[in-house]
Amino acid sequence: AMSQAVGLPPWLQDPELTLVEMFLLAYAVRHTIQVYRLSKYNTEEFITVYPTDPPKDWPVVTLIAEDDRHYNIPVRVCEETSL
Residues 6+ apart with CB under 8 A from 62: 34, 35, 36, 73, 74
- pLDDT surpassing 50 at residue 77: yes
pLDDT > 90: percent of the chain: 47
Q: What is the mean pLDDT of residues 10-31?
A: 79
- pLDDT surpassing 80 at residue 31: yes
Give me the residue spans of the domains in the chain: 32-75
pLDDT, tens digit, for every residue of 39-71?
Answer: 889 999 899 999 999 999 999 999 998 877 788
pLDDT computed for residue 14 by the predictor: 60
pLDDT computed for residue 3 by the predictor: 41
C-alpha to C-alpha distances, 29 to 7, 9, 56, 58, nearest whole angstrom:
28, 27, 15, 9
